[in-house]
Amino acid sequence: MSDNLMEKVSAFGERLKIGGAEVGRKMTAGMSSMSFKMKELFQGPNQTDKIVDDATSENLDEPDWAMNLDICDMINTERINSIELIRGIKRRIMLKSPRIQYLALVLLETCVKNCEKAFSEVAAERVLDEMVNIKRRIMLKSPRIQYLALVLLETCVKNCEKAFSEVAAERVLDEMVKLIEDPQTVVNNRNKALMLIESWGESTNELRYLPVYEETYKSLRSRGIRFPGRDNESLAPIFTPARSVSESELNEGLPQHIERDLPVQSFTAEQTKEAFDVARNSIELLTTVLSSSPQQDALQDDLTTTLVQQCRQAQFTVQRIIETAGDNEALLFEALNVNDEIQKVLSKFEELKKPSVPPEPEPAMIPVAVEPDESPRHAKEDALIRKPAGSRGGGPGGSTDEMMDDLDEMIFGKKGGGTSESGHDSKKQPPKGDLISL
């Protein structure tokens, strides 16, 4: 019993010792990483940084291949520090400018394809991590960056054994599967990702220590996804000779390969005109439907739904034209105007979709007992008022006056009015005479 207890205590102490050593190692690594980042933050730019800045300047319309290959020669002849160069490229990749990011990735691809020493520096500086983060941020926006990221990934794993572990540890395969499943991914990028996963998944002998590659490949095949096929040298190194490249060889080297394979979403003049015509027709039709039909009928009509979908699709196309307009100010101005018109009519549709607010009820009116002049009650009250004889006419009110005269005669013994009184006085004179005589 005591022996078992001692064994448990010893095992627990050994566990604490290992855990403490692991925590200390992680803290040391974290502190060293933090100190390196602080040093990198406060360290001023050097000559290598200036070279990288010039090669990835935002003022460049396209990669400067002569400068990029000169940089490769500088690395191979050790005229510049490859570590500082990779750090400079990493710094440019982390910027938010799409143009600088693209030029930095092209420079990185050129270096790793032409400089053997650059691969170890790429793994050491974890540029692959930055590339994965960029790919996640721009997954649906830039096919060019997607393609360059896949090319960089392929180059790293072909020439650096550590890159396979980095790819597995950083779950890059998951991002590649998302890219394949995304319906908005361009065909070239999707095929590129499928080719890489297929080549890695079938390399069971070389990658048996990393089963995630084979599992990902088999998972895609079990879901019925078709692979485009690959070459037989997918894992062969592609190092180029470490020598200077003249200007005459530029057209036969890397630039043509990239320009041929790189999917660039551009529009011809005819395609642009057709896109603008479709957009304007959709805008006009949707505006007419929303203006001429009752609100509920317009919202429930299938034609309205179809026109809204056409407008949104046209807006997507126009936005792509805006992104590829470049320095063509006339095209850019027209595309922006069309985009504003589409947004205006779509906003109107969204406003109509909002539930209408019921009007506030009006305050209850307090009834006031006011009778019109023609009411019978008013006529009776008016009839009780004695009117002068001149105001009585022979109209409809004549009968009412006679009734009043009869009433006066019954009460007072005489009738009101001028003419009536004279007539009745003549009748009453004999009784007066009789009284006098009496």
Q: What are 263-292's pLDDT values in tens digits?
A: 445 678 888 888 899 899 889 888 888 887
DSSP 1: -
Lookup: tokens for 171: 């779950």
Looking at the predicted structure, is the pLDDT value of residue 226 above 60? yes
H-only helix segments in 170-292: 172-181, 187-201, 212-222, 254-261, 269-292
Task: Give CA–CA dist 29/39, Å, rounded.
Answer: 15
Looking at domain 269-353, its CATH architecture is Up-down Bundle (1.20)
56-102 pLDDT, tens digit per residue, is 998 888 888 999 888 888 888 888 877 788 778 878 877 878 888 88
Nearest to 265 by CA among 149, 140, 176: 140
Lookup: tokens for 70: 């000169």
Top-confidence range, 198-202, 245-249, 253-257, 361-365: 198-202
End-to-end CA distance of the chain: 162
Tell me the CB-side half-sphere exposure of residue 244, using CA atoms within 13 A.
8
Looking at the predicted structure, is the pLDDT value of residue 40 above 80? no
78-87 pLDDT, tens digit per residue, is 888 777 887 7
Topology of the domain covering 47-261: Leucine-rich Repeat Variant (1.25.10)
What pLDDT is recorded for position 152?
A: 67
User: Domain spans of the chain?
Assistant: 47-261, 269-353
- Rounded to 5°, angle at Cα 400 from 398 and 406: 105
Nearest to 230 by CA among 258, 203, 206, 257: 203
What is this structure's pTM?
A: 0.29
DSSP 233: T
Lookup: tokens for 202: 């079938």
Nearest to 58 by CA among 101, 21, 8, 13: 101
Contact predicate 115/82, CB 8 Å: yes
Task: Kindly state the average pLDDT of the residues 387-401.
Answer: 53
Task: Give CA–CA dist 307/243, Å, rounded.
Answer: 60
